[in-house]
Structure 1
Amino acid sequence: MKRSDIVRSIQVKFKRLSVADSVAMINNISNHLADALANGDRVEIRGFGTFQTRIHAPKITTNPRTGKKIHLPSRKTILFRPSPRLIKKMNEA
């Protein structure tokens, strides 16, 4: 499902919203999510799941093609844990 599909489904459900309002709403939600995660906050959407950042420590690994050792710096990744309700709904579909 793409962003445009979500906009269309919002349009079907909330007929009074314009396309611009629907796009603005989705952009606003995704911007708030991104800002919170960038600040290291945990974002919980009840009935859907939890987003949080995880910091991976720096490490030295081997390049499988060349066999040379390379240094990987620390990095942040996003961890999503679905809620039990979302898992149940997914399994029933």
Structure 2
Amino acid sequence: MADAGTLTRADLAEVLNRQVGLSRTDAAAMIESILGHMTTALLDGENVKISGFGTFVLRDKSERIGRNPKTGIEVPITPRRVLTFRASQGMRQKVK
């Protein structure tokens, strides 16, 4: 694995290689395909739900007034789209 706190694409491909028996090339291609499908769905405005893991959701945030914490000056925060992740109930129980 890359480092103790990060799971990379290469790590996922390595697991597929060892546990499923796919070649390293095929395993890497499968990971890229899955991530590509997830990205496309999110860009199309769809939520991505992986049962037992969680849901990735795109949310539109409207314009609002924020405050610079150093100066206290109010500044407008422009509308934007944010990606959020909500862990499934089962995942939350495992992480506890």
Normalising by structure 2, report the TM-score: 0.79
Structure 2 alignment gaps of length 5 or more: 1-6
Matched, 1:35 2:40: yes
How much has 1:42 moved relative to structure 2?
1.4
Aligned CA distance change for structure 1 residues 69 and 47 (closer, same or farther; 3 Å): same
**Corresponding residue to 2:82 among 74, 77, 82:** 77
Q: How many pairs align?
A: 90
Structure 1 alignment gaps of length 5 or more: none
Question: Which of structure 1's runs of 4+ aligned residues deviate more than 3 A?
Answer: 65-69
- How far apart in 2 are the matches of 1:65 and 1:90? 36
How many percent of aligned residue pairs carry the same amino acid? Answer: 34
> What is the root-mean-square deviation in Å for CA atoms of aligned residues?
1.6
- How far apart in 1 are the matches of 2:54 and 2:69? 36
**Corresponding residue to 1:9 among 10, 15, 31:** 15
Normalising by structure 1, report the TM-score: 0.81
How much has 1:87 moved relative to structure 2?
2.2
How much has 1:20 moved relative to structure 2?
1.3
- How far apart in 1 are the matches of 2:70 and 2:40? 37
